[in-house]
Each structure stands twice: as C-alpha cells, then as structure tokens.
Amino acid sequence: MSDLLITHVDVLTADGIKKNHAIAIDNGYITSILSVEEASTLKSSAKEVLNGKGQLAAPGLINTHTHIAMGLFRNYADDLELMEWLETAIWPTEAKLNDNYVKYGTQLGIAEMLRSGTTTFSDMYFFMNTTAEVVKETGIRAVLSRGLAGVSPTADQALVENADLFRTWHGFDNDRIKVLLGPHAPYTCPDAYLEKVIALSHDLNAGIHMHLSETKGEVENVVKATGKTPIAHMHELGLFWNTTLAAHCVHVTDEDMDIMAEHNVAVAHNPQSNLKLASGIAPIPEMISKGITVGLGTDGSASNNNADMLEEVRLAATLHKARLYDPKAIPAQVAWNMGTVEGAKALGYHDLGILAEGYRADIVLYDVSGMHWMPRYNDLAALVYSANSADANTTIVAGKVLMKDRELLTIDEEKLRAEIKKAEQFFVS
C-alpha cells in the first residue's frame, strides 16, 4: 500500500528520464519508480493518486542559504555594497521586527519557495522559534540556525535561544527540521564569542552555519587582525571540528580550500547575491575539483530580492564558464546536482535530492506545456537553461502534497497578502 501514487509522469532520475512512469511513496519516502503498467495494480490500494500527465517529476530544489523573513525588505534598499546595505538600510529596519512580522515574512518566503520548486531551505535569522512553527505548519523542510552576532547587546541571549532551538526542534518529524548554530560572520563575531559558540557546539553536538570570506574587505580585516585568512583563522579556533556550512567563500586561497576539503566544510554558493552586492565570484569549479561539497543558495530574499533557486542553478551553470573561458567549467548536470543532491549533502541529508527508491519524497512536478519547453531533446538541460520556476505545478515534501495545480494547500494566501501589505506600511512609516 502507498500513501501517494503519482502516475503517468516523466521522471528525472540520476540515470536519465523515465517517460510515462509512476512514483510510489510511503511514509515520506519513495518506495519505487515503476512503469505505468506495473503501477496499475497499486492504484486501488493507494491512499491518494495524482495523475502527472504532461508533467515532469524532478527532485525539489535545496536552498542552502537564506534569511527568509528578510523577504519583508526586498526592494527596500538596493545597489549598495554589503556593509553599507547592512549598516544604513537593513540593521536599522530589522530593529523594528517582531514575532508577528517574522511569522508572515517566513510564510511569504515559504510560499515563494513552494511556488518555485524549492522543498528545503537552510535559514539563518532571528525569532527562529516562530520560523520553526511556520515550517512545522506549512510542511516544508528546513535547517534552522539562530543568527549569532557577538557584537550585539543580545549576544549571550542569542546563544541561549540557539541552544533552546536545537533542543526543541532538531530532528523534528524525521528530520524535516534540523538545527545548526549560526555564528553570523567573522566581522560580527569576535574570537572570545566564537569560543563560546564552539563550546556550545561540543555540548550539543551541533553543526555550524556561518558566512565566511564573503568580501575582500572581510578577508583583509581578518588578515590584518590575526595574520590568517578567515578560513584558516576559524580552523585554528577549532570551529570546524564537526560539520560546517559556510556561506559564500568568495575570496578563498588554495590553502583555505585544502582546509575546507579536509574538515568537512561545505559551501553555500550564492552567485546572484555575490554579483548584486559586488562581492565577487567564488572559485566553485576549483572547490569541486578538490572534493568540497557545494550547494546553492539565494541568500534571500533580500540581498538578491528573491528565493528563486532555478535562477541560481542557471547562474552556477553559466557564470563560471565565462570566468574561466571554459564551457565545461560547470556542466548542466553539475549545476543541477548543486541545486539538489549536493545541497542536500551540504545540509547533512544523504537520502535527499534524487528521485530514487529509498530517497525522501521531496518532489516537484513541472508543467512542461509552455513554448519554452519545446522541443524536448533534453529535460535536464531544459530545467537548467530554459525552464521557468513558475512551471512548478505541484510540490511535495516528505510525501505530502503542499501545492497542487499551483494552489498552496497549507498557506492562506489571501490572508498572507493582507498581512504583507500591513507590514509594508509599517516598515516605510
């Protein structure tokens, strides 16, 4: 018996497309991918049957780096470098946030992600207990970290909150929610504070999510203060003892990359954010050739204004070709893997991001009827180079249908729109 059976669908597997197949799902996992004929016997016993005719089933996209409630501030202040953007626009506005705004800002981000084919996100922000509640209610998968800034007056309280978040939510619903510690960045976390974070990570056996080596200025300041790059300095402090998700890593040396490869430091590559904030282009093909796990993120939805992962996949596939004058620098399959299975690994999931038996049933059905899907020589290339994220028609997380025929089933969109209107008026006042 299956909880859910998707029939008559083209399935993107790791070994290519299986045309007109069926996917059987039980207890949140894919139990088999089979021919429509084989599936016909399962139909009568399945609790729910979805006809996938005219659609392409693909693994949900994994957004490895977000500040999701910051969608409230998208298009609020743009065309600034990171530090100016933070100091003059974002930090003063964030000071006006509360649980209510974070609740609807998070719902907004989740609605946007489910609508654009993303089924997992890894977030660093505050009011994270509220974020976790919204994740629980909406059914999406998330890895949450409380942003920790040692320079903030609430620095020690934030550590307590991150520890509480971990104890309350880590492992929730068969790992639908996981928790990391979120030291924000070298420029907001002095060494003495990082030592407290590291001690807490040992107490809880928790992984780390941190912005590292994002801008030239950050690297120069750390080198000036310590004689070491941010990566080498964090390594020396002992931050990398467990698992680390490092966002950006734009300005890294060969030695940095060796440290990362050796100490299980995975990268959240956010190409659009790095371009828009004029931070630079991370040496991703070089990292991959050293065996570093690289996922993709939007760093959104504020610094790059959206949480559209298909855009990041496309940028990953194109940007590095131009930088290295090499059309094979990141082939379509590698970019797609970064947006799916490699991102999953970066978040510690080893049974997510591929449509195969035994993998978690986080699945997106794309409507392939648009003109931009014709002709259909290669569906993987279409997803990477020509699809539109609005083609996502049905979104499934842990075997549960969260969006069906473009209708969100766990979010009241009308109410959400009204609440975001209210927030908009509040933040400009």
What does the binding site for Zn ion look like in residue numbers (CB under 5 A)?
Answer: 299
Residue sitting closest to Zn ion (CB): 299
Least Cβ distance, residue 169 to Zn ion (angstroms): 21
Least Cβ distance, residue 299 to Zn ion (angstroms): 4
Q: Shortest CA distance to 82 belongs to which of 319, 224, 280?
A: 280
Write the DSSP symbol of residue 68: G
Least Cβ distance, residue 318 to Zn ion (angstroms): 22
DSSP letters spanning 328-396: TSS-HHHHHHHHTHHHHHHTT-SS-SS-STTSB--EEEEE--SGGG-S-S-HHHIIIII--GGGEEEEE
Least Cβ distance, residue 132 to Zn ion (angstroms): 19
Residue 161 or residue 299: which is nearer to Zn ion going by CB?
A: 299
Least Cβ distance, residue 394 to Zn ion (angstroms): 30
Least Cβ distance, residue 303 to Zn ion (angstroms): 7
106 sits in which H/E element: helix 99-115
Residue 112 or residue 299: which is nearer to Zn ion going by CB?
A: 299
Q: Are 86 and 303 in contact (CB under 8 A)?
A: no
Residue 182 or residue 285: which is nearer to Zn ion going by CB?
A: 182
Cα dihedral 177, 180, 186, 190, rounded to 10, equals 130
Residue 299 or residue 379: which is nearer to Zn ion going by CB?
A: 299
| Direct distance between the N- and C-terminal alpha carbons of the chain, in angstroms, rounded to an integer | 56
CA distance linking residue 100 with residue 264, whole number of Å: 37
Residue 10 or residue 299: which is nearer to Zn ion going by CB?
A: 299
Residue 31 or residue 63: which is nearer to Zn ion going by CB?
A: 63
CA distance linking residue 72 with residue 419, whole number of Å: 11
Helix (H, G, I), strand (E, B) or coil at 402: strand
